[in-house]
Structure 1
Amino acid sequence: MNEKANYGNWVPEKALYTLFGAVIVLGVIAVAVQVALSEMVIAIIVGVLCILTLVMAIYMLICHETFAFGKGNMMAGVHEHLIKHLDWDGEGKLLDIGCGAAALTVYCAKAFPKAQITAMDHWGVEWNYAKEQCEKNAKIEGVADHIAFQKGDAAKLDFPDETFDAVVSNFVFHEVRTAKDKRDVVKEALRVLKKGGVFSFQDMFSQKALYGDMEEFVRILKEEGISEVHYIGNLEKKLDFIPGFVTTPWMISGMGIIYGKK
């Protein structure tokens, strides 16, 4: 059997194990309190907590299956949407910022077979991804020959100005802890883009707590020399492949895209 690439999931399996484990522990405690101590009130309280945790665990499992490649494929749909807004012929160099397990990177490599792709990520211990996993996925998918992976900080990219012909990033900028103002991460991504190059970024752009007034931000980018900038907000309410049950504040809320040409 051919080995399959492992791109992970927005809902980590560790989180599922933790939730279902908590359900078991709470269930045992509820029964033990009732049987051993005859404390009905405490048993009921713990039992209610157990049921609520079970509901959350089932919900997160459904979300996990919805996001998963080869199952619900919602993550694949998100990547396809991003690339549809990248007006590029595939000739030259492309940068994927915050590549994670290289799912978007591999998508780009297949969509633009002539491109030389650089993919970078922080790959911190808190994330269930690693550079070795990216390299393995690229090899399995048969695109390793035109992808280079490197560790880096999205807030301070280790590339000279105007290095790349295209730059992409998917749900990364809001996670960059080394930048207090997430707008600065967007500007840093545009710094390494060549004049006339194209970009497509998806993130929680419609969350004002993160990005403020996006229409204002678009005007600022244009004033700073970005020739073409488009913004579409609240995508979770507009894209047919995103089911309503994942559009919660703790899952996907305020999704947006900015794309255009420098």
Structure 2
Amino acid sequence: MNEKANYGNWVPEKALYMLFGAAVLLGVHEHLVEHLDWNGEGRLLDIGCGAAALTVRCAKAFPKAQITAMDYWGAEWNYAKEQCERNAQIEGVADRISFQKGDAAKLDFPDETFDAAVSNFVFHEVRTAKDKRDVVREALRVVKKGGVFSFQDMFSQKALYGDMEQFVRELKAEGISEVHYIGNLEKKLDFIPGFVTTPWMISGMGIIYEKK
């Protein structure tokens, strides 16, 4: 019997699996990748890769890309670097992916290292950054000028990110050439059940994307 990849139970992926099923998780990843306007040639960074579910999806969506995936991992999470490497091997994409431990608040890469960057519901979990907007800025720092990005997180929760329209204006003033924001995705994406909009579930979903 063929071995299946194990993508663990990272929250909120755990919640997505438990409440909505794997199809919704795949839809969330697909939505992120669809907003990454990239030809797939060059280097991509997956920030907070968890068990590498999104990493593997990107590897399959961009077969020419070399991908670096990083995560803090740790005992409190039900995944590890070895699990990521095994999943990539099972999925047949291990030769194009490297995994490394790191902190999303202080990425261990020089400025403008990557042609593209993605992150899925990670930034709000970064405990080493009091202001989660700084995590976004750090992610953008390592993207090349003219490179692209697609980040999904709880961007519509003002307690975490404040006024997102104002934040988008700030990013543009800081040199990001194009930034688009779509908020409250749980109310707009057809594959997410309506009851997810309740505050105690996954509310305030948003995406920022485009080109540095």
TM-score (structure 2 length as normaliser): 0.96
Q: What is the aligned counterpart of 1:208 among 120, 134, 158?
A: 158
Partner of 1:125: 75
**CA deviation map 1:150-196 (0-9, x unaligned):** 00000000000000000000000000000000000000000000000
In the superposition, relative to structure 1, how do residues 63 and 110 fare at CA in structure 2: closer, same or farther (>3 Å)? closer
Q: What is the aligned counterpart of 1:156 among 95, 106, 118?
A: 106
Considering Cα pairs closer than 8 Å and 6+ residues apart, tell me whether 1 or 2 has the greater RCO.
2
Contact 1:90 1:115 in 2 (8 A): yes
Partner of 2:20: 66
Q: What is the aligned counterpart of 1:244 among 182, 189, 194?
A: 194
Matches within 5 A, 1:67-216: 67-68=21-22, 73-216=23-166
User: Deviation of residue 96 (structure 1)?
Assistant: 0.1
Partner of 1:225: 175
Taking the aligned partners of 1:9 and 1:64, their CA distance within structure 2 comes to 9
Residue identity opposite 1:172 in structure 2 = V
Q: Give percent identity, aligned residues only.
A: 86
| Count of aligned pairs | 211
Residue identity opposite 1:141 in structure 2 = E
Partner of 2:6: 6
Taking the aligned partners of 1:97 and 1:11, their CA distance within structure 2 comes to 15
Taking the aligned partners of 1:100 and 1:248, their CA distance within structure 2 comes to 25
Structure 1 spans left out of the alignment, 5+ residues: 16-59
Taking the aligned partners of 1:76 and 1:133, their CA distance within structure 2 comes to 19
In the superposition, relative to structure 1, how do residues 150 and 6 fare at CA in structure 2: closer, same or farther (>3 Å)? same
Contact 1:9 1:64 in 2 (8 A): no
Deviates more, 1:165-174 or 1:122-131: 122-131
Taking the aligned partners of 1:174 and 1:11, their CA distance within structure 2 comes to 11
Contact 1:11 1:64 in 2 (8 A): no
Residue identity opposite 2:2 in structure 1 = N
- What SS class does the counterpart of residue 207 from structure 2 fall into? strand
Rg bigger for which structure?
1
- What SS class does the counterpart of residue 215 from structure 1 fall into? helix
RMSD of aligned residue pairs (Cα, Å): 1.6
User: Deviation of residue 63 (structure 1)?
Assistant: 5.8
Query: Which structure: greater strand fraction?
Result: 2
User: Deviation of residue 125 (structure 1)?
Assistant: 1.2
Residue identity opposite 2:153 in structure 1 = D
Matches within 5 A, 1:43-58: none
TM-score (structure 1 length as normaliser): 0.78
Contact 2:20 2:192 in 1 (8 A): no
Taking the aligned partners of 1:63 and 1:114, their CA distance within structure 2 comes to 30
Q: Please list every run of at least 4 consecutive aligned residues from structure 1 whose deviation after the TM superposition is greater than 3 angstroms.
A: 9-12
Contact 1:134 1:149 in 2 (8 A): yes
Taking the aligned partners of 2:185 and 2:200, their CA distance within structure 1 comes to 16
Taking the aligned partners of 2:128 and 2:101, their CA distance within structure 1 comes to 15
